[in-house]
Amino acid sequence: MMMYKPLSLFMAIAFSTAACFAQSDNFKPAVTNFPGKQYPQVNAEGRVRASIAAPEANKVQLDIGGKKYDMVKDEKGVWTGESLPQDEGFHYYQLNIDGVPVPDPGSLYFYGAGRWGSGIEIPAADQGFFALKDVPHGLVSENIYFSKLTGLWRRCFVYTPPGYEKDTKTRYPVLYLQHGSFEDETGWSRQGHANLILDNLIAAGKAVPMIIVMDNGYALKPNAEVTDSKASPESIFEQVMINEIIPMIDGKFRTVADRAHRAIAGLSMGANQTMRIIMNNLDKFSALGAFSGTSNYPSTDVIDPARFLDGKFNDAAAINKQLRVLFLGLGTKEPNPFPGSVGAFRNMLDKQGIKHVFYESPGTAHEWLTWRRDLEQFAQLLFKK
């Protein structure tokens, strides 16, 4: 099992010290802090308070939720400031010191927004479904492999359910679970708490014990130009998934290696990728989860099924027979139609008579709490007899 050891990029910056703000307003250290660090803090309103010693700085800001908040320096050179209330859930953030964005040395680091940086958890009313509880726990292991298609060493993280190591005869279904753009294979276990979500569901008897494979959605041919475009013609992730990842997982782990026991899901860019993969490989998968996205299609009010994904959604009867679960999830604060046109896609499914499940995450936008809730709902539908 991999142990994460985030490194500060700015060791010259002193760690947070006592703040000049009063402590009578229910601010508490965030659960995403390094052990023992008092800042950043969160209060019951969801306000974030940051503090950092930077006596030589001229201007320091807290940058979170797309807004920057000025911080105030005290006589000891400690800057402190706070944000407006933030939505429940996980947020990437950073500090800005004299125009230079830097991680907060008090926070654990997460890979998102295309970088390793700070993240903070705003407590959610329903956080129990992804909380660490006294239940049997599975294992998240790091699996390294060489990809002949990309010419590179790659890795995926694999969740095996509680009891996998002791019961050496049982075989398990597999969910392939993809991250979003500017994130990587660490996202679903670090920010998403996928392992804890499944531990809790399995303990409650709400989900079938399953293996989850979390790989990196960026895959290019050797010497191809690097791009973050989700529609990049250079991407060969589908080939890597079908020809390398799935055979490797079926060879290394005790899987039930057939389409009925194989599902695929992803968030945002990962939803785009997984939809294309499953519709091109319906002989490999029986369930699809698209969280905050569908396929990379123009954001219009109407989708022509004859053109969408080469007409693969034209035959409703065949899709209803082949897909045991077609799940769409979206936060109520996300624009709809969203890029990828979730609203238009749903309208197309309804018009075609294609069965699907739609879930709306209350009060969340394009963020990890939306996708945690999506996974919690989706996992309960999988691999049922």
**β partners of residue 42:** 28, 48
- Is beta strand 174-178 parallel, antiparallel or unpaired with respect to 139-147? unpaired
Write the DSSP assignment of 348-372 as a string of letters: HHHHHT---EEEEETT--SSHHHHH
The tokens 């191809």 sit on which residue?
224
pLDDT (tens, 9 = 90+) of the chain, 385 residues, equals: 344 333 333 333 333 333 334 444 799 999 999 999 999 999 999 999 999 999 999 999 999 988 999 999 999 999 999 999 999 999 999 999 999 999 999 999 999 999 999 999 999 999 999 999 999 999 999 999 999 999 999 999 999 999 999 999 999 999 999 999 999 999 999 999 999 999 999 999 999 999 999 999 999 999 876 555 444 557 999 999 999 999 999 999 999 999 999 999 999 999 999 999 999 999 999 999 999 987 665 555 677 787 778 888 889 999 999 999 999 999 999 876 554 568 888 888 999 999 999 999 999 999 999 999 999 999 999 999 8
Question: Which pLDDT belongs to residue 299?
Answer: 56
Nearest to 49 by CA among 8, 124, 101, 106: 106
Q: Is the peptide bond before 337 cis (omega within 30 degrees of 0)?
A: yes
Give the global pTM. 0.89
**β partners of residue 118:** 93, 109
Residue-range domains of the chain with CATH: 28-123 (2.60.40.10), 129-379 (3.40.50.1820)
- Is beta strand 287-291 parallel, antiparallel or unpaired with respect to 262-267? parallel
Question: Which pLDDT belongs to residue 310?
Answer: 83
Question: Which pLDDT belongs to residue 218?
Answer: 96
Phi-psi region of 203 (alpha: psi -120 to 50; beta: other; left: phi over 0): alpha
Note the Cα 354 to chain centre separation in Å: 27
